[in-house]
Amino acid sequence: MSAPEILADILDTSEREDLPKEDLPEWRDPALATLTDARFSDPDWLFERKLDGERALAYVMGDGVRLLSRNRKSLSESYPELVEALEERVRCDALIDGEIVAFKGSISSFSRLQGRMQIKDPDEARVSGIAIYYYLFDILHADGRDLTALPLRRRKRILKRAVDYGDPIRYTPHRNEAGEAFIEEACEKGWEGLIAKRAGDPHHPGRSRAWLKFKCAKGQELVIGGYTAPEGERAHFGALLLGYYEGESFRYAGKVGTGFDDQTLADLHDRMSRFERETPPFDDPPPEDGITWVSPELVAEIGFTEWTDAGKLRHPRYLGLRRDKAAEDVVREEAS
């Protein structure tokens, strides 16, 4: 099925003619979800599994594929098999949004994906032994037409027809209306949570309340601002000092000392050593001695149980480094 046939199968003639004609854009900001504790069911919303991976936009053209992170970094070198699969299976020029994941059992694992994210050589990536999958959930452009004004539910129908699905390319299924039952099931299965999306909305670039995050456990990105010396048999460092931005201020959020294996300790210490500095980057640094300060450049994914009343992390654990978010964009996520 060609792209015009795909669009004709879903849209009537006037709807197709109303879609703006344009070349595939160089960049389009993806939609981002807002955290909420207000779980709900609503026929005007659809609900998808929240996957713990790396956000990726695929720009598919006749002369090749560009696979980019949400902050425009190339991902093609780390995931060459995805580039090849997209070249073969996407049926038209298109801009597609999705999430790249690796699994431990049936659970998506950001820590396992780290083994692929840090590889820059395509040949090395292929023999890493870490299988990855690209879950597609939105399409913003197809066959010279801007689709962003279409309702999400229409875009997803187009997406389902625009790709010949098969591993490692997967369609992200959704459920309609029953968000509360689905999030209960998701948490029982050990998933990270759900993304709730307003089904009749056009594409909203950036963060909005048209997409909402329901999380089963707490976790977010935080910025590394220093580290403590190792103790006992541990090498390289003891714990990371973490922070987030509050306006122009860089706030201290606490330390994390778990979640590291020996290779991670060595690799992360090597990365941090490039950003060492004499003074603390925090506006409210902890009153401790023996800390090596680093400029706030590296963004880490951290799981934890809750924020304390003092604004610090309780029971944090390190999950991995993120390369798809700038340090200055990291703020404390609070459910609304």
Neighbouring-strand partners of residue 314:
306
Rg (CA), the chain: 21
- Residues sharing a CB contact under 8 Å with residue 172, sequence separation 6 or more, in sequence order: 48, 49, 51, 98, 99, 135, 136, 137
* Residue 156 among the catalytic residues: no
Query: Cα angle vertex 68, ends 176, 281, to 5°?
Result: 100
- Residue from 50, 197, 218, 255 carrying the catalytic annotation: 50
DSSP per-residue string spanning 189-226: TT--EEEEEETT-----EEEEEEEEEESSEEEEEEEEE
What is the CB neighbour count within 10 angstroms for residue 207? 14
Strand bridging mode 299-304 / 103-104: unpaired
Q: Which two tokens stand for residue 191?
A: 């998933």
User: Which positions are annotated as active-site residues?
Assistant: 50
